[in-house]
Structure 1
Amino acid sequence: MASLFVEQQADGIAFYINGDLQFDSADEAIYHEYLVIPAIALAKLRFPDTELRVLICGGGDGLAVREVLKFSEVSHVDLVDYDSEVLELGNTIFKPFNAGSLTSDRLTIYIQDARDFIREVPTGLYHVIIADFTYPTNAEDTKVYSLEWFQQVNLALENGGIFCTNGVSPETRTAGFWCLYQTLLAAELMAKPLQLNIPSFQRLGYGNWGFFLTSQISIEAAELEKITFPENLRVINRKKLLAAFWFDSAIANIRHQVTINSLQFPELFYYLLNPSFQLEKTDNSKVNFLEIYEVSNGKIGQRNWLQLESTAKAWLEHFTTTQNLGKNPPDLNRLLPIQHRYHSPAMQREWLGYLQQLLVEIDLNKLMKSTLSRVQELPPHIARDLRNLSEKIRSGQPLTNLSPSTTQFLMLLSVTLLMANLVAPDTVFAKGYYGGSSGDYDSSDPIILSDRQSLGLQLMFWGAGFLVWLGLTFLSDSNSNDD
């Protein structure tokens, strides 16, 4: 269940879900006006003298509904939000800020998952669909940013209708932002990205915030110059709106390098956890996406990079195709990805710095004894090599002349050691989620294994059993292919 927190301030409130800021009443109008106003205004232009039907997915706080209801052309709004607690807040604490929008006679509320709701929607029912979802905190959350979801949204739109969705930050989650862009294009929605500076988001390090204004029909700058805005807006105007579609070239160029997010291969969450692309140095030029007309790059993921099996296979493939690791260094973002949102690249680097000391704590004799206890499950030549290796470790001899298959097997064990600690470093280093630096940590401090740290080492060994099976399967397949 989500953790909801309302912070009372001298001149308003701030609302958090699971510790992530959803809105600050001081500047929420920036977010909600840009999310809603261009979409409804464009639909009003495209469908003159029409009673507009609007669907809002998420947005139980009522703030997006408030903006939609500023248009008299909107005859009916459906709001779908699965969280009844947020809706209750929308009708109580948030009511002074959403202008009582959730009690409008033009609104129907459905307490339901948006994915289930939209499956039952007749084709072409809505002129505008607005997605106001929370920031994804796990792979499940990214299903409403998947190719399959966007395809269903496309079907629910009237021909020429508008879909607007909040995204992630193009500044701090650049690859994730463009993953959404490519996924929208793949769903045959002509996406136009835009970005905003929301002060409360910036203060918390979220960066500029991104949105996508989309339609089956290309959105032209000339159209946006013709739209009319309702009265009583606090932030948005035509000049500011047109400026929001400009991006630095260094950020914009990343859009060609990412893959599409789908249910089978949830690339978006991987990109959010692993912001791996380096921004190229440019001449500070800008890209205006209202002047760009392109289709999806069509890049489909081949594996789920957040699964241990995919990581292990990547290590093996890199090992078997690389003659000299010095000439072709591994991409740690693929071979050692961050697995949990509470972890950061800085934590990953810190963890790797611990690796040498951590491995010292492993009793190789016990590890080999445990492995040899199941030696009958291994191919004979690997079993023989492991017995020889065990004897060399016991007697202190140099570790040389291992066969390639045995080296692969040992690499798989190493990957398990790495991944088990990366998946659950909290058990090794007793770390929690925090937004700041390492605080009082001193890399020169001695490492003393606590009970929790010992548990982390046990996790490594327990994971070895799975990876032994995976390695045998992979090696067996490789040997079959060689034969």
Structure 2
Amino acid sequence: MAGGSEKSVFLKWSWFLEWLTPNRATLKHIEDVIFQGRSRFQEIAVVRVSGEGKVLVLDGKTQSSESDEFMYHEALVHPAMILHGSPRKVLILGGGEGATLREVLKHRSVEKAVMVDIDETVVNVAREHLREWHRGAFDDPRAEVVIDDAWNYVASKAETGFDVVIADLVDPLEAGPATRLYSEEYYRMVKDVMTPGGVFVTQAVSISHLTEYHAIIRNTVARVFKHVESYGVYVPSFDSMWGFVVASDDKDPRILGDRGFFETRLSHQLQGAELRFLDHASMLHMLNIPKMYREAIAREKRYATLDNQVFLPA
């Protein structure tokens, strides 16, 4: 847990070096260390970074920053929710900060949202130190927080009938806790707990820095669902165009680019709830990722299975 000696190590150096790829890194100035510790699964830190405010860092990787977390979480959650139209039950895989849960609960049709996270320490740290993220979502009567491995939860079919499933997981690093959660086998299990008209969305790493890995995630999802689409948004604290993949058997995600469809459903579902980033213009921009990335994604044919996993470079 956080202690004086650990905090002083961060403050002595005053800088946070984060490797985005083996050949690219960012360097950020740390003003303060709010929490530093280790769970059974990963290193956890909440630091205050100049120009970004609070930042959650897991195993040396920025998960979200106070200054722009809404961009990531709105982009992750609302396209899938809008595509479905009237989701009543939503499953969140990961999402320990509570911000994904916060965005899900903005939708008037939601009757139940189950958040499954393997790391209770991260959830507890978020409850205490990241109130700007969850804004009380953990205590909403529609919310259920389950501390479990997302693999075990889905495999056991502890609950089924989810209209939307949102995978807000850490990246598939070789030594990380989430690698098998990006496999074809896992996506097939996820589909089994969804309703027939359900929508699945996952964070899908950096399109700009890790294009081939984004493509592998997309290709893997495409082996399970009929309609699959990539989209992305530049997130300043990630120094990257961050990627997402949304999929469904019944609903083609390209309809999200239709202004009438998007704005009608957004207005109906959220009924005045605050969005700071997402509107139709932003959605259209996210769907139309640059040509060079589209071409690189189309060239990549690999996909991930349990026997042939693909890890991000550390």
Whether these two folds match at TM > 0.5 is: yes
CA–CA distance in structure 1, aligned partners of residues 303 and 98 of structure 2: 31
Bigger radius of gyration? 1
Per-residue CA distance 1:355-412 (angstroms, 9 max, x = gap)? xxxxxxxxxxxxxxxxxxxxxxxxxxxxxxxxxxxxxxxxxxxxxxxxxxxxxxxxxx
Residue 228 (structure 2) aligns with: 191
CA-CA distance at 1:73 after TM superposition: 1.1
Q: Percent identity?
A: 26
Judge conservation of contact 1:195–1:244 (CA < 8 Å) in 2.
Answer: yes
Mapped pair 1:39 → 2:72: no
Q: Is the 8 A contact 2:66 2:132 kept in 1?
A: no
Q: In structure 2, which of residues 238, 246, 259 is the aligned counterpart of residue 213 of structure 1?
A: 246
The 8 Å contact of residues 80 and 111 in structure 1, kept in 2 or not, is answered as yes
CA contact (8 A) 1:184 1:190 kept: no
Query: Secondary structure, in 3 states, of the residue corresponding to 2:265?
Result: coil
Normalised TM-score (structure 1): 0.52
Q: CA deviation at 1:103?
A: 1.3
Question: Highest relative contact order (Cα 8 Å, sep 6+), 1 or 2?
Answer: 2
Corresponding residue for residue 20 of structure 2: none
Corresponding residue for residue 264 of structure 1:
307
- Residues 306-350 of structure 1, C-alpha deviations (whole Å, 9 max, x = no match): xxxxxxxxxxxxxxxxxxxxxxxxxxxxxxxxxxx2xxxxxxxxx
Q: What is the CA-CA distance between 1:189 and the residue it aligns to?
A: 4.4
**Matched ranges for 1:24-423 at <5 A:** 24-43=65-84, 45=85, 47=86, 52-121=88-157, 125-138=161-174, 141-202=178-239, 207-217=240-250, 218-221=252-255, 222=258, 223-224=261-262, 226-229=264-267, 230=270, 231-254=273-296, 255-266=298-309, 268-269=310-311, 272-273=312-313, 341=314
Q: Provide Cα deviations, 1:153-209, integer angstroms capped at 9, x if missing partner.
A: 11211112111110111111111111111111111242110011111111xxxx211
How many residues of Structure 1 are paired with residues of Structure 2 in the alignment? 262
The gaps in structure 2 that reach 5 residues or longer are 1-40
Contact 1:180/1:261 (8 A) holds in 2: yes
C-alpha distance in structure 2 between counterparts of 1:243 and 1:107, whole Å: 31
The 8 Å contact of residues 175 and 258 in structure 1, kept in 2 or not, is answered as no
Offset, 1:227 = 2.3
CA distance in 1 between counterparts of 2:81 and 2:208 reads 27
Residue range with higher mean Cα deviation, 239-248 or 57-66:
239-248
| Shift of residue 226, structure 1, vs aligned partner | 4.1
Task: Flag the structure with higher strand content.
Answer: 2
How big is each residue's C-alpha offset from its partner over 1:13-57, in whole Å with a ceiling of 9 and x where there is no partner? 1110011001110000000001111222222x2x4xxx6000000
- 1:87 partner letter: V
1:6 Cα deviation from its structure 2 partner: 0.6
One-letter amino acid of the counterpart of residue 308, structure 2:
F
What is the CA distance between 1:60 and its match in structure 2? 1.2
Q: Contact 2:225 / 2:247 at 8 angstroms: preserved in 1?
A: no
CA distance in 2, matches of 1:194, 1:224: 15
Cα offset, 1:89, TM superposition:
1.4
Q: Which has the higher helix share?
A: 1
Secondary structure, in 3 states, of the residue corresponding to 1:6? strand
Stretch of structure 1 that moved more, 93-102 or 78-87: 93-102
Q: Give secondary structure in 2 for the equivalent of 1:92.
A: helix
Q: 1:122 to 1:110 in 2, by over 3 A?
A: closer
How far apart, CA to CA, are the structure 2 residues paired with 1:184 and 1:9? 35
**Which letter does structure 2 place at the counterpart of 1:170?**
I
Amino acid paired to 2:188: Q
